[in-house]
Structure 1
Amino acid sequence: MLFRTNALDDRVGKTLVDNLYTNPGSLTAGAANGIIAALVAATYAANPVIWNVAILLSLIGVARVAMAYGLPRLQVRDTRWLELLYELGAFSFTATVGVFAALTIWYEIPLIAQMLMLCFAIGYGAGMATRNAGRPVISVTGMVLTFTPICVALWSTGDLAARTLAVAILICFLGMVSISMQIFRTLRDSIGAAETSARLAEKMQQLARTDVVTGLHNRAGLNHYLVDHLSRRRDETRTALFWFDLDRFKEVNDALGHQIGDRVLNEVAQRLRSQAKVHSVIGRFGGDEFILACDVRDRREVETIALALLAEVTRPMRLDEDRLEISCSMGVAILPDDGPDLESVMQGADLALYHAKVNGRNQVSFYDPSMSRDLVRRREIEAELRVALQRDELSIFFQPIVDLATGRIRAFEALVRWFHPEKGELRPDEFIPVAEETGAIITLGNWITAQAAKAAAAWPDDVTVAVNLSPLQLKAPGAALGILNALREARLPPHRLELEITETVLLDHSQQTEDFMAELSAAGVKFALDDFGTGYSSLGYLNKYPFGKIKVDRSFVSGPNVGKKSDAIIRAVSGIAASLDMEIVAEGLETIEQVDAVKAAGCTLGQGYYFSRAVPDYLAAMLLAQERDATEPNRAAG
């Protein structure tokens, strides 16, 4: 019962054995002292038996030291085998020490030699009690093998002092057993506590690296396991990184609730697991984005995997009574083809994902070096755009919108221009998308509205100004209040401002959009539906929102598909607009033939190079002045 062990005791013993073989210094010192003491004591006795035992003790001591230093170098990993060898050496040495000390008493060699061996034997046995406390069976057995022959020899002399010493050694043995067991329990408790702490730390680390919704790696876990995966990658192996983004996932959360949204994420995670290759690393990067990395042979295999993953993720899913069709965009980059390290490949996959979304979503895009060049360009534009707003490098130009019946200017559309001091004029399609991506469009849009309102305040009262709005502007906090403040500062009546909104803004059916338009419409601001016919055109928009004008896209006027069908569409839209008391603007007019065609089709207003390009504010004022001057003589003549 005393030496019954459990798994923890075995681990304590393993720690002892490891320590014995990794730090053999004390074993070497004990063996050296024993050999010296035995050889010195043997010189005092002209007895071949004692000399033979002394030599045997020396050989065992040398063998133990040799094993202590030699076995680790042989890389012996079997702990039980190492422990058995240690026990064999320890028991052999302690038994020989005990027998040798008993023989010095039995053969009554000089007293000083007896004292030398008795002191060494008792000290060595006591030392074993503490040194081998991690394995009580070794500690106690070693003391028994050392002390028993000595006590028997002392008792057999019949001398009172010798017998008293034998009893004292026995009492010392019992005390050292108690000390040994106490040390063992302390070691066991310490190692047990350390193991518990290590398990808790490992569990906490695992939780810190796991996404609670899907059970996949989270961002921290992804980084850890991707680094580990790549560190074990062979030089000739390619690693593909697939970056997923669920398209318009926010609509699922808004329409069905976050619980359904979490179930969708979990279902996507299960599908990725089912399609992934063995040893793939899969994680949820955040929100509705997932990353999968796996080793591949070549680009052809990457394409096959990408298409299979996209098909699996976008396969319709049924949650309770809801049938959901989730589209997905994917960006792919390959290491080392697209970058030498994890950071560059992740950046490449992210750029490819961006292009997949920009190009229409629900598709796979592979990284191309030109994407990095575009990124550098966008970052330059982003940084310079913020500075440009401060340095007044931006200007507002105005393009007239003309009444097709009278030829008079009814409004101007405000268009931003950027004249860079080094790069010259930058096209709006270069910096407007960057402004939208970075959120700078909110600041830029508010500035455009304020500048346009100031310019329009100097025009005749019957001329309005039109300003395009970005979707981000509509959703920005206090957007409506910001526009009303700009009108108030410019002293421009609200009915002289017209805000142009594209159909894409209305797709998400946002309550914010409805509230924004309702608040401004109540104040008198007008709204126009821009680029009608290019996207998800719906007549429902005309009924639901307070639009007073429709702008027919230039593709119906001057595009390659202009003909009977486009003319019929313009006529149909014009008829609907007329019945709703709305005006129709034809964009992109460049020739008199186009002007006549759209006028005949029912358009009431026109805009394009035929009438005028966009001009600075002072030229816009000049156009209005010339127009007024030309009409005054006619009125006087009449």
Structure 2
Amino acid sequence: MDDRVRRTLVDNLYANPGSLTAGAANGIISALVAAAYSGNALIWQVALLLSAIGVTRVAMAVGLPRLKVRDTKRLELLYELGAFSYTATVGFFTALTIAYNIPLAAQMLMACYAIGYAGGMATRNAGRPIISVAGMVLTFTPICIALWQTGDTAARTLAAAIVICFAGMVSIALQIFRTLRDSIAAAETSARLADKMQHLARTDVVTGLHNRAGLNHYLVEHLARPRTAPKLALFWCDLDRFKEVNDVLGHQVGDRVLTEVAQRLRSQAKPDAVIGRFGGDEFIMACDVKDRREVETIALAVLGEITRPMRLENDRLEISCSMGVALLPDDGDDLESVMLGADLALYHAKVNGRNQASFYDRSMSRDLVRRREIEAELRVAVQRDELSIFFQPIVDLATGRIKAFEALVRWFHPEKGELRPDEFIPVAEETGAIITLGNWITAQAAKAAATWPEDITVAVNLSPLQIKAPGAALGILNALREAKLDPRRLELEITETVLLDHSQQTEDFIAELSAAGVRFALDDFGTGYSSLGYLNKYPFGKIKVDRSFVSGPNAGKKSDAIIRAVSGMATTLDMAIVAEGLETVEQVEAVKAAGCTLGQGYYFSRAVPDYLAAMLIAQEREKFEPQRATG
């Protein structure tokens, strides 16, 4: 039998001392009454012995569990001594009452008590069958012998009945034991499985460290126990550009790198440290420290160990690491605030060039906390209807008519007011939320454009992350299908940075959507590499000259010359050219003279909600249609 199961069964013997107390009380009273009826000195002596054993047994049943005896065998042996002593005395006492032929009522009193007690204790002690069976044997044997020796037929029949009863009670006790044993064993198995599942739920399968759930659990547990030093240091590590390892060498090598980093963290950790993989390529280590100097020593040692070149089979890898460090109670009063401080410090380390450790400082909090707030709130802003799509017209410079609208996202926060796109778009790109946000913008823009006249198109900016996301092209085609918008009326604006990595995924994305009829425009031309190879390789139908050439501080003769050159090239390639940032009539005339065919900017209109965009279209139609009719 499993030791844990046996311990549970033995503990169950002591679980209800009340039943033992009731049985002993009944026995003492019955024995004393029978002794009084007999007037026999020997019977009186045995009655007093029975009373003493009964009281001692009750005291043991109550007292031993409180002593928390750990030795199961010892605990079982003490119970057996009490049980066997008491049942043997009960059986002997009852046999004496029969042998000395005391008044029949007293004999019946003891016989009924003995048989009832033996039967009751047999079921109560069924968890240990040896106690049940031996107890009945010690009780029934002297009684049956005394009954048989009387020579009376009725007495002998009673002895035979007791033997039959004994056999039945043994069967019942064994059945109860098997049921108890199996139930407890099943419960123990379930408990072990639950413990194992809990361990697995708190363990990272790749590195064997705590995962995020385990890390939170053991950090709280670490803080709850006596501390070895006055401060708690929390080190938040992030492997720099780890995604490139997965992309180039594969996820198996990436997992081996993570495992190696975990081992190196363990090698530098203090004995009481809590280490976990927080997620992806992020690790957290927490330990008690004496002062900031010790923290700096640990941080340098960890960074040095992680960045030490590693060799995996035939590959020699150099992994750099950024680290954020915060201390409790210096940087926060609780674990949550310290983790936030370490996270902010980590972000600061990345912004400052990576591969370094940064200690949390309250001066870095304001801007970084705001970015974190934006990140968290941006994820639910769509569901809360805080985001809106505004449309800025793109106008034909020759006719003054609206040819297209550029879809621009606006965020009206219920507490912070309107947030500028340059505040939340970079955050969305850093966190990957731009994929969800970009898909939503495209879907909303397509729905609005479907209500406009068919000669007006809609332009949507795309982030590099959107293009590289799995199923990106399919998502855009689905949005067009749901909005019932002709793909030729959607124009996707991409910047040169999207094309720098010469990704096959990017080429396939552009090719698939171009085949469906979607148009492409090269945005912010002139601010990057401005490679003419892009214009030759990809199906761009429009070039957007960056606003810095039109209304920026460097606008002038040189920028005019650049615009003229780009315009001439675009005319040759049969491309439209858009001048952005037009604010004055002089700027409009200048870019028009330079060869731009389309213009966009405050001179024509700011970005407006969809209903005002529809109103602008209606007003234009009213303005130009009568001229066409009279003409």
1:171 paired residue number: 164
How far did residue 415 of structure 1 move? 14
Q: Distance in 2 between matches of 1:164 and 1:381?
A: 89
Partner SS for 1:277: coil
Q: Does 1:501 align with 2:496?
A: yes
Structure 1 gaps of 5+ residues are 1-6, 399-413, 459-465, 555-584, 606-611, 629-638
Note if contact 2:37-2:103 (Cα within 8 Å) is conserved in structure 1.
yes
CA positional deviation for 1:544: 9.7
1:31 is displaced (CA, Å) by: 0.3
Pick aligned residue for 1:621 from 561, 585, 588: 588
User: CA 1:544–1:615 in structure 2 vs 1: closer, same or farther (change >3 Å)?
Assistant: closer
1:375 partnered with 2:372: yes
The Cα shift of 1:138 comes to 1.6
String of CA shifts for 1:97-142, please: whole Å, max 9, x gaps.
Answer: 1121111122221111111111111221222221111112222222
Inter-partner Cα distance in structure 1 for 2:464 and 2:237:
24
CA separation in 1, counterparts of 2:411 and 2:23? 89
Q: Is residue 286 of structure 2 the alignment partner of residue 289 of structure 1?
A: no
Task: Give the CA deviation at 1:51.
Answer: 1.4
**Residues 240 and 354 of structure 2 are in contact (CA less than 8 Å); yes or no, is this contact kept in structure 1?**
yes
Maintained 8 Å contact 2:389/2:408 = no
Residues 1:389 and 1:172: Cα distance change in structure 2 (over 3 Å): closer
CA distance in 1, matches of 2:138, 2:358: 78
Cross-structure match for 1:390 = 388
**1:467–1:500: 8 Å Cα contact kept in structure 2?**
no
Match of 1:92 among 85, 94, 97: 85
Supply the distance in 1 between the matched residues of 2:137 and 2:42 (Cα, whole angstroms): 23
- Partners in 2 of 1:424 and 1:185 — Cα distance? 71
1:192 aligns with 2:174: no
Q: Could you say if the C-alpha distance between residues 31 and 499 of structure 1 is closer, same or farther in structure 2, counting changes exceeding 3 Å?
A: closer
Distance change >3 Å, CA 166–CA 544, structure 1 → 2: same
Query: What RMSD over aligned residues (CA atoms) do the two structures have, in Å?
Result: 5.0
Q: CA deviation at 1:310?
A: 2.0
The answer for the alignment partner of 2:122 in structure 1 is 129
Q: Select between 521-530 and 426-435 the one with higher mean Cα deviation.
A: 521-530
TM-score normalised by L of structure 1: 0.69
* Structure 1 counterpart of 2:350: 357
Within 5 A, what are the aligned runs for 1:502-541? 502=497, 508-514=501-507
After TM superposition, list the pairs within 5 Å mapping 1:405-554 onto structure 2: 430-436=423-429, 437=431, 438-439=433-434, 440=437, 470-472=463-465, 474-475=467-468, 477-478=472-473, 489=489, 500-502=495-497, 508-514=501-507
Matched, 1:61 2:59: no
Residue 27 of structure 2 is aligned with which of 23, 34, 50? 34
CA deviation vs aligned residue, 1:42-68 (integer Å, no higher than 9, x gap) = 111111221121122112212222222
1:115-154 counterparts in 2 under 5 A? 115-154=108-147
Partner of 1:215: 208
SS of residue in 1 equivalent to 2:496 = strand
* Identity across matched positions, percent: 66
Indicate conservation of the 8 Å contact 1:125/1:142, yes or no.
Answer: yes
Q: Secondary structure at the match of 2:208?
A: coil
CA distance in 2, matches of 1:137, 1:486: 87
Are the counterparts in 2 of residues 396 and 417 from structure 1 also a CA contact under 8 Å?
no
- Contact 1:132–1:138 (Cα < 8 Å) also in 2: yes
- Measured against aligned partners, the alpha-carbon deviations of 1:479-515 in whole angstroms (never above 9, x if no partner) come to 99999x999659xxx9xx996534xx56655333455
After the TM superposition, which of the residue ranges 426-435 and 350-359 deviates more from structure 2? 426-435
Q: What are the within-5 Å matches in structure 2 for residues 61-80 of structure 1?
A: 61-80=54-73
Deviations 1:330-380 (A, max 9, x none): 233333433344443333333333333233222223334433355346767
Residues 387, 409 of structure 2: 8 Å contact kept: no
Pick closer, same or farther for the CA change 1:498–1:131 going to 2, 3 Å.
Answer: closer
Query: Could you say if the C-alpha distance between residues 619 and 110 of structure 1 is closer, same or farther in structure 2, counting changes exceeding 3 Å?
Result: farther
TM-score (norm 2): 0.70
Flag the 1:56–1:320 CA change in 2: closer, same or farther, 3 A: same
Equivalent position of 2:314 in the other structure:
321
**Structure 1 position 32, deviation (Å):** 0.7
- Quote the residue 1:22 is aligned against: 15
* Mapped contact 2:237–2:282 kept (Cα < 8 A): yes
Q: Which amino acid aligns with 1:390?
A: S
Deviation sequence 1:561-583 (CA, Å, 0-9, x none):
xxxxxxxxxxxxxxxxxxxxxxx
Structure 2 residue matching 1:193: 3-state secondary structure:
helix
